Amino acid sequence: MMSVGGQELMVAVKRGSESRPPLLLFNGIGANWQLARPFLEALTETTAIIFDMPGIGGSPLPKRPYRPSSVAQLGARLISDLGYDKVDVAGVSWGGGIAQQFAYQYPQLCRRLVLAATSPGAIMVPGSLQAILRMATPRRYLDKNYMHKVAPDLYGGAFRKDPSLIGRHAEAMVGARGMGYVYQLLAMVGWTSLPWLRAVRQPTLILMGRDDPLVPVANGHILARLIPNARLEVIDDGHLFIVTRPVETARRIERFLGGGP
């Protein structure tokens, strides 16, 4: 636990090489840091930093709702408190919006940017209506039986083919408290990166799942077209490829962070 700008945060650091900046990872909506453990463990060369959003997992509820700019500021204060003056930044799904905001808000702190299974925000190519409606509630985090029922159609990809993956994912869930989840939903209401994406100058890797019911690949094409120094890679999986294909995802990201093609 760390106190960052007056907010208590549950922070996890996976130690790796110090030859390049650490990777600051913003997780998906309702997700505690342990859900990213398979990916963190698959990193072979990279120091990674991740924290539970206020009101999620081990981080207590904040005093008031927040916006993406507030979370970006929280991330900047955290890396400063940890003794770093530059990071690479990654964001998954909901966290991808925060990662975009961080790169735009703190260009001097962000060296490279990774966007996974995400979109430009409120103005996006929508996914399945059924999947989007199920995302409006944290029930899947609180009811493991419900998670087993909805995961294949909600996340697509490997979850459709291997039910055992759902069980392992569900076991890692700490549970998103009601108001913490509501605050995350409210944070993104009306937020979009479209007006300023061309000002994001960091080298950017965009990873999208081919079978993603929540965030269709078309959103990755939009991001890649608008961010000047971006490239898109499509993974043959669903929304949670960072969980179902952690080794492949880590390999792609570390190759990019190391400057490889």
pLDDT score recorded for residue 22: 98
Reading the block at residue 31, the tokens are 């997700």
What is the rounded average pLDDT of the residues 53-72? 96
Please report which confidence band the pLDDT of residue 133 belongs to, taking 50, 70 and 90 as the band edges: confident
Tell me what percent of the residues of the chain surpass a pLDDT of 70. Answer: 98
pLDDT score recorded for residue 175: 59
CATH number at residue 251: 3.40.50.1820
- For residue 191, the enclosing domain spans 2-257
For residues 197 and 205, give the distance between their C-alpha atoms in angstroms, rounded to a whole number.
14
Query: Which residue of the set 70, 93, 119, 193 is catalytic?
Result: 93
Note if 80 is an active site residue: no
- Domain total in the chain: 1
- For residue 17, list its beta bridge partners: 46
